[in-house]
Amino acid sequence: MIFDLHSHTTFSDGSLTPDELILRAIDQGVGTLAVTDHDTIDAYREPPETYNKIRLVAGIELSTHWQSSGIHVLGLNICLDNGAMDAAAKSQSAARFERAQRIGENLKKKGIDDAFAGAQALSKGTYIGRPHFARHLVNIGKVTSMNAAFRKYMGDGKAGDVRQHWASLPRVIEWIREANGIAVLAHPLKYKLTRTKLKRMLDDFIDAGGQGIEVVSGQQLPHQTRDMAQLCVQKNLLASCGSDFHGPGKPWAELGVFPALPNQVTPVWDRF
């Protein structure tokens, strides 16, 4: 059975609805799927009919920080009826809304009026992210593509690069644990930390109550998988895997298409 424990819908920055996501996952041979939208569980509020066609693991991807680096923590197998997740979503949504307003103000200084309103109109629910601003810039003809939008306006060091005061790493993990979930460090290789810093971050993550690490995140090289598995074993963490799927057209992050977990690790689903 293929376990894909990292995916997104239109309720955050994905391009497929929950129904569309699940149907695609089934077509891709995924047997167990976690919908892990950024800082929201809205995709689970009104379960679509397709939910009974696949084994679903309730999840969320919470934004936080370690030192000066923004990082993400997955909450897997969470209890949706637990008040902790409602508190988490409310706090994170408020922070994200404030960030979006600041991005809109920065873009206005660049001569782009109503960017916030445009991004908000493209969003679903309470999530407004940089991809919504980028899509709005394409729609109004400021740029010709999403990539161009990020290069010119939304990427690191640009007008849309607004640092946010997310909840602390211990608080984020506390929310997940209070909801009877498993806290997993998402895509550790994306943070571009040195080996020494990554180990220090993992130590702080574990001290705060973190329980797992995403050993496999989408398509990655064999030596990267071996390296993450080694860290996983050394730190006595559970191992997770997922595509980090956001939408079609990105073969490196397609549902169910990624290397298998190495044999020496303990899969996170052993604790579900």
Query: What tens digit of pLDDT does each residue of 89-119 get?
Result: 899 988 888 999 999 999 999 999 999 999 9
Residue whose C-alpha is closest to residue 173's, from 210, 135, 137: 210
Which tokens go with 77? 């197998």
Q: How much is the pTM? A: 0.89
The answer to whether 220 and 190 have CB atoms below 8 angstroms apart is no
Q: Can you give the pLDDT at residue 100?
A: 92
Q: Is the pLDDT of residue 208 over 70?
A: yes
User: What CA–CA distance (Å, rounded) separates 37 from 131?
Assistant: 14
Q: Is the pLDDT of residue 126 over 70?
A: no
Instruction: Tell me the domain boundaries of the chain.
Output: 2-89+166-271, 94-154
The structure tokens 């290069």 sit at 151
For residue 38, the 8-state DSSP code is: B
Class of domain 2-89+166-271: alpha beta
User: What CA–CA distance (Å, rounded) separates 185 from 135?
Assistant: 28
Which run of H or of E encompasses 13? none
Per-residue pLDDT band for 161 (boundaries 50, 70, 90) equals: confident
Region 249-256 average pLDDT: 96
pLDDT digit string, tens, across residues 258-269:
999 999 999 999
Per-residue pLDDT band for 50 (boundaries 50, 70, 90) equals: low
Half-sphere exposure of 155 (CA within 13 A, CB side): 7
Q: Is the pLDDT of residue 234 over 70?
A: yes
Region 6-35 average pLDDT: 94
Give percent above pLDDT 90 in the chain. 81
Q: Which residues contact residue 139 at a Cβ distance below 8 angstroms, ignoring those fewer than 6 apart?
A: 118, 122
The answer to whether 150 and 134 have CB atoms below 8 angstroms apart is yes
Fold of 94-154: DNA polymerase; domain 1 (1.10.150)
Which tokens go with 188? 């550790």
User: Of 125 and 253, which is predicted with more confidence?
Assistant: 253
Q: Can you give the pLDDT at residue 124?
A: 67
Q: Is 135 left (phi over 0), alpha (psi -120 to 50) or beta?
A: alpha
Per-residue pLDDT band for 129 (boundaries 50, 70, 90) equals: confident
The structure tokens 């057209």 sit at 249
